[in-house]
Amino acid sequence: MIRVKCPICAKSFEIAQLADLPSFPFCTERCKLLDLGRWIDGAYAIPDKTQAETAGTDDLEDEDDE
């Protein structure tokens, strides 16, 4: 028997072999998806860039000196 502890719901359970648990190391596919979702959430957690940087925007005003 293999003792497994799901990293998502912390549920401990035993399986005869790893092949019995397609969602290893998670107890169910649900927990596997939860972990995946959490991972993606973190990957998309990009700090807000609300500061509109105007650097590089050359404000060329027409200077008609005539």
Strands (E), the chain: 2-5, 12-15
Q: Which is nearer to Zn ion, 8 or 15 (CB)?
A: 8
Using the structure block, give the residue that is written with the tokens 């940087």. Answer: 53
Contact region with Zn ion (CB under 5 A), list: 4-12, 13-21, 47-55, 57-65: 4-12
Using the structure block, give the residue that is written with the tokens 């648990």. Answer: 21
Applying CB under 5 A, among 2, 9, 18, 33 the residue interacting with Zn ion is 9
Rounded CA-CA distance 17/5 in Å is: 14
Q: How many residues bind Zn ion (CB under 5 A)?
A: 5
Residues at the contact surface with Zn ion, assessed by CB under 5 A: 6, 8-9, 27, 31
